[in-house]
Amino acid sequence: EREMEGLLYGDILEPRIIALVCREVKTSQCRYPANVLPLEVPCLAVASPWLMLRAFDLGAQGLALISDRERCQLRFDPDKWQGNVRFVQGLLDHLGIESERLRMFDAGDAESDLKRFAQEITKLNSTPLRSPESATEGLKLPVLIGNFREKLGVPRKGAITAGDVPFGRLELDSSECTGCGLCAFNCPTEALIFLPGSDGSSYQLLFHYQSCVGCGQCVNSCPEGCLQMENILDLDRLNSPAKTIFEDDILRCRECGAPIGPRAMINKLKDKISATGGPTSQLEICPECRIKAEL
């Protein structure tokens, strides 16, 4: 990011175009137009949606991603990465910025293609984006998208579903959830939080949309199959607070009052045991009281 910033704020011909170039692409393979600023990266896989958008945020009028499929030592597959490109292109379109400003190129044809690309960008009106030099450490993708909308005056509504969307909208079937908490335990971004009540008698499962990256680990870890994930950038919910998607109380031991577990989970166990004709009364007693009762 800082290298892009340095390139874009130099004395360069307009319109300024950043080219993120895989290090396997040899300098001799391509001669760049004067206004195309090449920046070598270890692999194009580092060109995340955040980095692509940040290039435009810094004032780039175009962004070229150049890879060499044959030379790549990391087996980077440009075709698979197109999903990220399509997402950013869809978002740019929604923001009123032409999606053709972002394009992928193969090193074999890059020189002639870049010349045409630079000519096409020249015909477009300049984007009004040109962030001042500032530290962006900790600036996450939702915040960056929010900054774009404010600068461009785009309403906070609409949805992006194109490509590989790095956001997820989660739906929970409360009739099936037992409150086990495995979804929150396995969430890598803490988009799901298992929050106990202040008195220990209840709990809530909170979902924070803008923290979700749509990985689906919560869905895969749910033993009841009560979660559904849709990969979508919902601009209406991008800056919304965490939402309670499930809540229940904690069942307490009928003998000593110690907490046993989520009521929904205990009730589900009772239903399963009852279906086999087994007793369920022991489920309402904590382990310590069971031991005492057997002595």
Exposure on the CB side of residue 185, measured as CA atoms within 13 A: 8
Per-residue model confidence (pLDDT) at position 135 = 47
pTM of the model: 0.83
Which stretch of DSSP H or E encloses residue 142?
Answer: helix 141-152
Residue pLDDT, tens place only, 22-73: 887 765 566 788 888 888 888 888 889 999 999 898 888 999 998 877 766 6
Residue pLDDT, tens place only, 164-185: 999 999 999 999 999 999 999 9
Contact 246, 206 (CB under 8 A): no
Q: Give the DSSP letter string of 76-141.
A: --HHHHHHHHHHHHHHHHHHTS-GGGEEEEEGGGHHHHHHHHHHHHHTSPPPS--PPS---TT--H
In this structure, what are the phi and psi dihedrals at residue 128, rounded to the nearest 5 degrees?
-80, 15
Per-residue model confidence (pLDDT) at position 2 = 61
Residues of the chain with pLDDT under 50: 133-135
State in words which class domain 168-249 has. alpha beta
Q: How far is CA 189 from the centre of its chain?
A: 9
- The burial class, CB within 10 Å (0-12 / 13-18 / 19+), for 241 is exposed
CA distance 242 to 106: 42
β-bridge pairing 36-41 and 102-106: unpaired
Q: Taking CA 73 as the corner, what is the angle to CA 70 and CA 78, rounded to the nearest 5 degrees?
A: 55
Within 8 A by CB and 6+ apart from 28, the residues are none
Any idea where the domains of the chain sit in the sequence? Answer: 2-152, 168-249, 252-294
